């Protein structure tokens, strides 16, 4: 089954080395996607001067893409001597990975009044259109504070569509996590911690 996935990689603790590690993860997932024959499209990137990324968001599509990547979500950690280290010391750096299934906008109800949309120039490579026209789109969902930016397309409309699909996926995930927390709290309330003092019968 063909699945669409939003892959979000962010540099965590560790400064420049964390950004380099995030870049390594981006290249790793891109190669993996290529081997699996999946489509790969960068949606928004914030590169650094050392082949790293502060943020990298991509859209993947292919057979079993979400099922294969679902367990990748979380904090990834690396311990190594970075390129930026002069004394040969080992550093520990982190990057976060989020894997979101792309959700059809019609499946999640969002009021237009809850959205704050701004447009700006995308910058970077892509010709004069990218640099002169305000094609980059940033959408904030006011009730949750979730923000999404898309710069990959040459038109404002297409960038808005992609940004909305990412926002919907994030809202859907937030709602699922909220439901999961609620169920966990109810379960904990029912089974307790297992301490002797919590007995209901002996």
Q: Which residue has the tokens 């968001």?
A: 57
Instruction: List, in order, residues 6 or more apart from 128 with CB less than 8 Å away.
Output: none
Q: Are the C-beta atoms of residues 47 and 22 closer than 8 Å to each other? A: no
Total number of domains constituting the chain: 2
Q: What is the pTM of this model?
A: 0.69
Q: Are the C-beta atoms of residues 136 and 113 closer than 8 Å to each other? A: no
pLDDT in tens, 160-180: 888 888 888 888 888 777 776
For residue 202, is it within any domain? no
Strand order in the sheet with 2-11: 39-47, 53-63, 2-11, 91-101, 74-80
Q: Percentage of the chain with pLDDT > 90?
A: 33
Nearest C-alpha neighbor of 57 from the set 126, 137, 128, 118:
137
Range of the domain at 70: 2-102
Verify that 151 and 95 share a domain, yes or no: no
- pLDDT: which is higher, 129 or 44: 44
Structure tokens at 189: 């309330």
| CATH code of the domain covering residue 21 | 3.30.70.1660
Q: Which residues pair with 39 in a beta bridge?
A: 61
Instruction: List, in order, residues 6 or more apart from 181 with CB less than 8 Å away.
Output: none
């Amino acid at each position: 089954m063909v699945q669409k996935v939003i892959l979000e990689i962010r540099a965590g603790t560790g400064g420049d080395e964390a950004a380099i590690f995030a870049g390594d993860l981006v290249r790793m997932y891109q190669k993996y996607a290529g081997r699996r024959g999946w489509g790969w499209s960068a949606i928004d990137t914030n590169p650094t001067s050392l082949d790293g990324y502060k943020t990298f968001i991509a859209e993947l599509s292919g057979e079993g893409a979400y099922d294969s990547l679902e367990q990748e979500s979380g904090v990834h950690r690396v311990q190594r001597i970075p390129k930026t280290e002069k004394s040969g010391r080992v550093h520990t750096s982190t990057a976060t990975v989020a894997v979101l299934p792309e959700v059809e906008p019609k499946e999640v109800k969002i009021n237009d009044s809850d959205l704050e949309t701004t447009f700006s120039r995308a910058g970077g490579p892509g010709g004069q259109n990218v640099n002169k026209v305000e094609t980059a789109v940033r959408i904030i969902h006011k009730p949750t504070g979730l923000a999404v930016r898309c710069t990959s397309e040459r038109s404002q409309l297409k960038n808005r569509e992609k940004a909305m699909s990412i926002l919907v996926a994030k809202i859907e995930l937030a709602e699922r996590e909220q439901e999961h927390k609620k169920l966990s709290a109810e379960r904990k309330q029912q089974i307790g911690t297992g301490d002797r003092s919590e007995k209901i019968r002996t």
